[in-house]
Amino acid sequence: MKDMRRAFLWSPAALCLLVGGRALAGDQERAAATQAAQTLYSAGQYKDALDAVNLAIEYTTDQFGDKSAELIDPFIQLGDIQRGLKHPERGVEAYQHAADLIEMNEGVFADRMVGVLRRMGAASAEQQKNDDAVASLQRAKVITHRNYGIMNLQQIPIIDALTTVYTNEGDRLSADREQMFGLRVNERRFGADKPEVIPALYHLAEWYRRTGQWAGARTLYKRAISIIESAYGPDDVRLVPALTGVADTYRGERTLRNDGRESLERATQVYAASEDADKADYGASLIDLGDWYLLTNHTDEALTAYMQAWQLLSSDGTAPEAAQKQLGRPTRLRYDERSLDQIDPPTSPAGAVGPKYVKVTFTVTDDGTVDDAVVVSSNASSRVVRQVRLMVMQARYRPGFVDGKPSPMQVTLLQRFYEEGAADVPVGGGEDAAAPGGEGGSTNEAASGATTSAAQPATPAPDAAAGAPEAATPAPEAAAAGSATPPAEPPPETP
């Protein structure tokens, strides 16, 4: 990028700009300044880009006048650069100038107005001026209605932007309305039962999932399944995202019903019936099914699915690296820290320094249960220590595998807390050697901020203080609280 910038600065056009100034400005110089602004903006050099775009505006004004259409793009560019400089209010001013020029030269319903209004909406939202953002975006949507009809696809990005603004305002009803309207637009364009509408179904389903509307998302996934079956047959691999989506909605509700398990079983069957199924995707599907089995206490079925995934991912043992990456160490599926919120705010023992923590070592057995949980060290109260140890004992893991077979492995978990007033708040789901994930969504590992040792094969009866793997580096302060965690006991499958 430095070379590009140097090349521009020493080009004949740039030298003409620097030496001759505006008096010598023409098409070549104006284009050079505009290109420089764009190049510097793309490189994140916003201050230099600002100088270049201001030159471009000056040259354009001298050449065409201050009300010319040629100024529209430079002012849009100026608005983008001001937002890059974290001055969204100045960005709005620049966009408004561009909008005024469009009205004067092209009319209030010009297509170019839509892009400018979307930028104005984004810049207003960056200032948390949500009413202004909604006004700009709604005006943009009306222009698309006037030019292309009410049910036009050009408005879909505007609908998504409005959804974000309404969500920031806490107006879930309006956000839902926009997203449902987006689906109706696609249905009108493609037909309600056509495969082309499936991306819109997934889009709305993802919105429902983000907002905890699990039943609504499940209905959309099932509708997608029906469309795909009709268009491509009952064994088409395009069914898999919708099938796994159905299961995910039950996990989100923390109700592991038979319908979810059957959806995952069917996904693996679809892969098995496909001659060109991707092995990595097929293996991940088997692991997903195995996790479901394990959390509903169908241990034998779970281990069978895991071993089948190992064989598939390792190409029948000839290339075990991929299988080792997915299954080579225990993975936490359930760890319920909500019970920590039900005890009194704990206090640290006298003389304790730094954030509170509880460090536990334990063995993940070959069926994913926890054994030999030992508190290695802690500066939290004894009550909290007991509760953390109980949570560890109730946790459930996908077991680690060695040469395609489940094997007991030792794990170290570091549960950290940060202080919030007088209370101690658990961060994330603790840190251990296992990868995050499982029922109900992944645990916020980044927020917990701890570092851990790798899982090791279990040793007989580890000593309470010795033999426990230590954390690799000191843990930094936590950034935020963790995400929701699954229940302490796996709910039974229900019809």
What ranges do the domains of the chain cover? 331-457
Tell me if residue 404 falls in helix, strand or coil.
coil
Give the pLDDT of residue 495.
Answer: 39
Rounded distance between C-alpha atoms, residue 416 and residue 435, angstroms: 17
Name which of 26, 52, 27, 28 is nearest 39 in CA terms. 52
> What phi, psi does 358 have (nearest 5°)?
-135, 125
What does DSSP assign to residue 465? S
The pTM of this model reads: 0.77
The answer to whether 267 and 286 are in contact (CB under 8 A) is: no
Name which of 167, 169, 201 is nearest 182 in CA terms. 201
- Token pair of 93, please? 């001013």
Class of domain 331-457 as given by CATH: alpha beta
Rounded distance between C-alpha atoms, residue 415 and residue 385, angstroms: 10
279-287: long-range contacts, CB 8 A cutoff, minimum separation 24: 279/312, 279/313, 279/315, 280/313, 280/322, 281/240, 282/312, 283/309, 283/312, 283/313, 283/322, 283/323, 283/326, 284/309, 284/326, 285/240, 285/244, 286/312, 287/326, 287/327, 287/398
Give the pLDDT of residue 319.
Answer: 78
Rounded distance between C-alpha atoms, residue 78 and residue 41, angstroms: 10
Give the pLDDT of residue 19.
Answer: 40
- Residue 275: exposure state from Cβ atoms within 10 A (0-12, 13-18, ≥19): exposed
Name which of 322, 246, 245, 288 is nearest 437 in CA terms. 288
> What phi, psi does 425 have (nearest 5°)?
-110, 125
Tell me if residue 445 falls in helix, strand or coil.
helix
Rounded distance between C-alpha atoms, residue 400 and residue 453, angstroms: 15
Rounded distance between C-alpha atoms, residue 447 and residue 301, angstroms: 34
pLDDT per 10-residue tile (average), the chain, 495 residues: 46 45 66 94 96 96 95 97 98 98 97 98 97 98 98 97 96 97 98 97 97 97 98 96 98 94 98 92 96 96 96 83 92 77 51 75 95 93 90 94 95 76 44 42 31 38 31 30 34 42
